[in-house]
Structure 1
Amino acid sequence: MNFNFSEEQQQFRDSLERYLREAYDFDSRRRILKSEAGYNREVWQQLAEMGALAIALPEAYGGFGGNAFDTGLVMEAFGRSLVVEPYLSTVVLGAGLIADAGSDAQKADVLDAVASGERLLALAHGEAGGRYALSHVTTTAQKDGDYWVLDGSKAVVLHGGAADQLIVSARTAGAARDAQGISLFLVDASAAGVTRRSYPTQDGGRAADITLAKVRVADSARIGAEGAALALLEKAIDRAIAALCAEAVGAMSATIEQTVNYLKTRKQFGVPIGSFQALQHRAVEMYLHAEQARSMSWLAAAKLDAPRDERRHAVSAAKLLVAQSARYVGQQAVQLHGGIGVTDELAVSHYFKRLTMISLLFGDVDHHLALFGECMAA
């Protein structure tokens, strides 16, 4: 398989990285983190104008028809600059689900608005006690004529506080962890009965806990077939994991660059500490871990359209290795910077926080090790 980028992809990546270097420096990011929204609307609109929001969406609905590698280009650039804008929640998860299973009317209404930067989405699926089990859904949807009535609570919904619309998973049949009986609904975040509590996360992002109390939505708001949403959720989460792996690669690359620059300038005993062979070896090990993670990130992207078992096998393998590499690179960077490596004023500490959160999102090492073992045994 050819992993070389086309000339168009290279030009897009260069322009995106150049924009982020100029408009999204560390101080600008820290100001965004202090805002109530947790993202910058002007930056979001600029990303839309550059085509970053539309690159992987269908051409028929305002997109450019790209693939997982195009999404990876965006996410890697975001990782390098620690971008906190809601790309993962809106484009990868939200728009991805609509593109996969939405009706023609839903696609026409939602995807063009996402591509132009006019609408934010959030996947409201996780629940307290669910851990990483995608089939754990206790929120209910009861049929009432041509409407559905939703009741339940969702936890840690990424950028749920800023979203204009929510994609809510609810059980239309079965028990709490049954594979069948889960449906998806497109719900306006301002609908009667929807309550949101937004808060910052440890890595500088935003999430929300959402309560749905007798929220009425039309049957036309249902996404995909009734009771068959688990397969859609699995594919959407696998797509998000592949995107996170690419983001982690970008964050690791930036972390290594900053650490090497520090080793070249920090002096001890009258010489740069980077001249010490032991520290050079540690820097090389960081680079090797990052390059292994890059290869696995590409593998995950390449397998997203493969059959379910093959896809999940590759995605879990990638998440495993990327999480281990992220932990190693982050820890080494902090240690090589000494005491200042954990201070809020130093970008390295922010990279380490984000890498740690990426390692936990959508399944930690133990979870994906178990999934990988199941795939091997199948």
Structure 2
Amino acid sequence: MRILVTGGAGFIGSNLVRFLLSQPGTQVANLDKLTYAGNLQSLLDIQHSANYHFFHVDITDSKRLNDVFDLFQPEAVMHLAAESHVDRSIDNASAFIQTNIQGTFQLLETSLRYWKNLSKQTQKAFRFLHVSTDEVFGDLDGTTTKFNENTPYAPSSPYAVSKAAADHLVRSWHRTYGLPVLISNCSNNYGPYQFPEKLIPHMLLSAIKGKELPIYGDGQQSRDWLHVEDHVSALWTVLKHGQIGETYLIGGSAEKTNLSVVKTICSLLDKLRPLSTGNSYNQQISFVADRPGHDRRYAVDTTKISQHLHWQPSYNFETGLQQTLNWYLSNQQWWQNILSGNYQIERKGLAENK
């Protein structure tokens, strides 16, 4: 299968590209704009694979998109390219509107043009999988329920609004034009190659540098945590076996408060890299003003993907988190290049040489 992945140099995207290339006979085209979160160093181990192709392209660029589709001739599109950090969307929503909404629109237009020109048999096999987030559903604060595929949309942040708009665009291109689409909405991801601005790597790296571990509000915001390797296996399952036009929620069945996540990181670090003072990393925890519009609780009901597609997460949170911390501790050069900014220079060279 020839699969075009947008955003394949990002956290989830790079893990997905690596997973896809492990499947026999799969060829992957990675299409990425290389914004600050795009890092080709996350793909050094597969960059010379004969089945891997990289295109430095912005998904809002219709001409370049059309050129890539015509050259690579994909049998499926897995759309992950997005601005994804909530705090950044609050500070400046413009890039989120441009990439997540306008970019998705342009990708749909290109995919539709390409799909219409395929043979009837190839049209039937083609799939467009749009990868979204559980944040489109809003806040479950004060309830014991979970999001499911029929939960009404009520996004809070500019990021969540932009992803909700993209979801609606994808559904309309299926309903109006017949494009064979699938949609997934996932919970909070964690694992190797995650950009250090996100909660788990940020807290880990701050802890080992002796910095404060700032937690928004009272730290009781609750999220479902999904290991990225489980997520990409679920995406592959949805692509291969999902029913056209359907939505599938993907979660890790690991609902935790932010405070409990940080305390677990500290406890694991106390064993993996104990402080010479004998103190616990927990003593570095501090509390800061909550961010605007911060949702209190997300939780994901994975009954549909479990019963219909027979997918289950393989990691529990404790083993997944320990694997993640071990990866960061063993791959210091990767994250040091990001923190120093050197990766921006090196990725330029990698992009030009590919």
**Which has the larger share of helix?**
1
- Give the TM-score normalised by structure 1: 0.34
- Give the TM-score normalised by structure 2: 0.36
